Structure 1
Amino acid sequence: MNLDVISSSAVTGSTQWHVGPLSRHFPLVVPDLLFFGGSTTRSDRRSEKFQAESIVRLVDQLGIKKFNVVGTSYGGFVAYHVARACGGRVLRAVIASSDVLKGEEDDRMLMERAGAEDVVDLMVPGSTGTLRKLIGLTVYKSPRFVPEFVLRDFVQNIYKTNLKEKVELIKAISLGNKNEFQLTPLSQDVLVIWGDHDRIFPLDKAIKIKEKLGEGARLEIVKNTGHMPNTEDPTRFNELLLDFLMNDPKPSIL
């Protein structure tokens, strides 16, 4: 049975995935990305490519020969790099809510939607007010009321822990830098999953990504969800994952 490696977005893996239905079919590895949860490094490298290299080293240490890789948001950047680096070892790749075609213009438009001045401040919020803005952009239906102390606790325990390193992670994203990164089709079949009301990475980017990834990519849109279809509609999200991953994969083109 193939192992399924799941890469989270910018929070801990345990809060991102409803793994019960998946674990009945696959042995799972759900790593926290570096500087989230208990994951850390002595290296001063911060790019999503380095995160991917760390995932590959973990897989090697576990003695895993073949696996699927799944990532959402920033974790989707990492999943893309893992699939590209590992070739035939990765049977299939899932990239969810992850604008691997992101550029400076996308950041500018995000700031306009958020009414914010800086991407880093928005994505690593240092105040409850900024966190409320981020939540409003992230989910399709914002909760009517979230107590201030809950948001304050979230800022303190999720974002301010390893704050310096998390800021460096955002600044070191290589996507959009044509000297460092070019999006190319993957050798694996790829599933792109997107919420139809994603305001972090709008749906039109998903369509462009699917086209850019080539004939081996397909796009599935989860209705009535925003940037987090994996948590807003986990039943549908997991149905799409299992349908994609449990069909016999086509031979990889090396």
Structure 2
Amino acid sequence: MHTARTFELNGIEMHCEVRGEGEPLVLLHGGTGAGSDWRYVFDEPLEGYRTIVPDLRGHGRSTNPAGTLTFRQVASDVLALMDRLGIERFKAIGMSLGAKTLLHVATARPSRVDAMVLVSATPYFPPRARAIMAQSNAETLTDAEWQVLRQKHVRGDEQIRALYAQLRALKDSYDDMNFTPPYLSTITARTLLVHGDRDPLYPVNLAVELYTAIPRAALWVVPNGGHVPIFGPMAPRFRETALEFLRAG
């Protein structure tokens, strides 16, 4: 079974694809990405899972009339989507934007998340990440990069420019991503942290901070891995490891 629907929730239109039957598994993409990115990781249907693959606020086919982006708000959108789908408890995989969103979901509503895989997550933005965010500008993109982004984001170039402006604005955000160890300790979901040891945004010590603070956490540091090291040659190994972890509980 494969259905695509658009839901009106939290003042936006959220596009979502639902595939297969079984236990709910939510897949949350990264910043400037879209739900379609997951085809590069999961190239076949996931047996035993009903996968829920949304385009997050302002990305892909989803809208964002407010023009601002916070991870807390995106988490609220995801929970509203689960409510609309009638899903109380679920497993999830998130990369970067999606992973930070899941930290908010799992702390705001611990009982909703059974297990999750967080790829390139962080408890807060370190100085190096803020410096990179400050350089976020759609006008510096190459023609090839524009072409790729236009295939993902169907609402025109202004949608893409808005996403880059929202990412740039995160350099001045201090309250949205500010997870302390006591707050992280309230997470009840089994959690696998996947982190590249060459991540230019979030040093690997931040993954260790998450691992230390989240009670039921496991940590996989990918050697020579950059930011979101799960594509290309790493995809099969990530797929096997993530699914094994999710099924272990």
Give TM-score, length-normalised by structure 1.
0.74
Asked if the contact 2:129/2:200 (under 8 Å) is kept, the reply is no
**1:245 corresponding residue in structure 2:** 246
Q: Does 1:127 align with 2:128?
A: no
- SS, match of residue 49 in structure 2: coil
**2:97 corresponding residue in structure 1:** 74
Distance 2:67 2:140 in 1: 27
Q: Does 1:217 align with 2:217?
A: yes
Distance 2:45 2:218 in 1: 20
Task: Deviation per CA, 1:6-64: give whole Å up to 9, x if none.
Answer: 11101112124522456223110111111110011344552111101001111111111
- SS, match of residue 219 in structure 1: strand
Asked if the contact 2:25/2:51 (under 8 Å) is kept, the reply is yes
- SS, match of residue 82 in structure 1: helix
Q: Residue 125 of structure 1: CA displacement? A: 3.7
User: Which residue, out of 89, 107, 111, partners 1:84?
Assistant: 107
Q: Does 1:2 align with 2:33?
A: no
User: Which residue, out of 178, 182, 188, partners 2:179?
Assistant: 182
Pairing of 1:1-254 with structure 2 (within 5 A): 1-10=22-31, 11-17=33-39, 18-20=41-43, 23-43=46-66, 46-103=69-126, 105-107=127-129, 111=131, 119-122=133-136, 124-128=137-141, 149-154=143-148, 160-162=157-159, 163-168=161-166, 170-172=168-170, 176-177=174-175, 181-183=178-180, 184-185=184-185, 186-213=187-214, 215-232=215-232, 233-248=234-249
Q: Residue 119 of structure 1: CA displacement? A: 1.7
Letter in structure 1 aligned against 2:28: S
Asked if the contact 2:90/2:112 (under 8 Å) is kept, the reply is yes
Distance 2:45 2:242 in 1: 8
- Classify 1:60/1:3 alpha carbon distance in 2 versus 1 (closer, same or farther; 3 Å): same
Give TM-score, length-normalised by structure 2.
0.75
Distance 1:150 1:15 in 2: 17
Letter in structure 1 aligned against 2:30: S
Q: Residue 190 of structure 1: CA displacement? A: 1.1
Identity of aligned residues (%): 23
- SS, match of residue 23 in structure 1: coil
Asked if the contact 2:133/2:170 (under 8 Å) is kept, the reply is no
Q: Residue 161 of structure 1: CA displacement? A: 3.9
Q: Which has the higher strand share?
A: 2
Distance 1:198 1:228 in 2: 8
Letter in structure 2 aligned against 1:167: A
- Structure 2, unpaired ranges of 5+: 1-21
Q: Residue 96 of structure 1: CA displacement? A: 0.8
Deviates most, 167-176 or 3-12: 167-176
- SS, match of residue 27 in structure 1: strand
Q: Residue 90 of structure 1: CA displacement? A: 1.0
Asked if the contact 1:101/1:209 (under 8 Å) is kept, the reply is no
Task: Deviation per CA, 1:50-82: give whole Å up to 9, x if none.
Answer: 101001111111111210122111111111111
**How many residue pairs were aligned?**
217
Asked if the contact 1:80/1:93 (under 8 Å) is kept, the reply is no
Q: Residue 196 of structure 1: CA displacement? A: 2.7
Asked if the contact 1:127/1:155 (under 8 Å) is kept, the reply is no
- RMSD between aligned residues: 2.7
- Classify 1:15/1:44 alpha carbon distance in 2 versus 1 (closer, same or farther; 3 Å): closer
- Classify 1:171/1:64 alpha carbon distance in 2 versus 1 (closer, same or farther; 3 Å): same
Distance 1:29 1:242 in 2: 15
- Classify 1:174/1:23 alpha carbon distance in 2 versus 1 (closer, same or farther; 3 Å): farther
- SS, match of residue 139 in structure 2: coil
Asked if the contact 1:47/1:174 (under 8 Å) is kept, the reply is no
